[in-house]
Amino acid sequence: MFYEQRMTVPDSPAALRAEYADDLAAVVEQRGAADAAADTDLEQATLEAISAGDEPDLTLEEAAQVQALAEGTPDPETIVTMALEHLLLGMSTAVLDVDAVESDLEIDLDAKEIHQKIEGRAPMSFAEFVHIQHVIADGAP
């Protein structure tokens, strides 16, 4: 689950995203796209795409809504909070600042944007989250 603390990651952000895509697809398959659409802000077509293994553009909050449908998981707001807190904790563990994250990031975000997103002061796409999480966990000792 993407909101848990990661100390290791696959070789690339794409591989990490694929791992999470499988997790989200399993949740939608178990729940059914129509029922999931009724319980989230996502369109049924988007949920069907997730279930089919596609990786539609999602926000971190939308991914959390899907993840929260799984039995035994926290509510979406708690999932987002935990995910962001684990990024901050990972940065502390790996002794990284936002400039170091920026220098290893494969997407175009500057240090200020990374800082705002990790603190929840700016919206974050799920793709951005995965890329940032990959850099942080990859830098962990």
Distances in Å between the Cα of 121 and the Cα atoms of 32, 56, 115, 118 are 33, 23, 8, 8
Number of domains in the chain: 1
Average pLDDT over residues 35-39: 96
Determine the structural domain holding residue 100 and report its residue range.
Answer: 78-138
Phi, psi torsion values for 59, nearest 5 degrees:
-85, 165
Give the C-alpha separation, 81 to 40, whole Å.
18
129 within domain boundaries: yes
14 within domain boundaries: no
102 within domain boundaries: yes
* Environment class of 7 (CB within 10 Å of its CB; exposed 0-12, middle 13-18, buried 19+): exposed
Arithmetic mean of pLDDT over the chain:
95
8 within domain boundaries: no
Give the C-alpha separation, 127 to 59, whole Å.
8
128 within domain boundaries: yes
Phi, psi torsion values for 5, nearest 5 degrees:
-65, 130
130 within domain boundaries: yes
Using the predicted structure, report yes or no on whether residue 52 has a pLDDT greater than 80: yes
Read off the pTM: 0.94
Give the C-alpha separation, 123 to 31, whole Å.
27
106 within domain boundaries: yes
23 within domain boundaries: no
Average pLDDT over residues 25-44: 96
What confidence score (pLDDT) does residue 112 get? 97
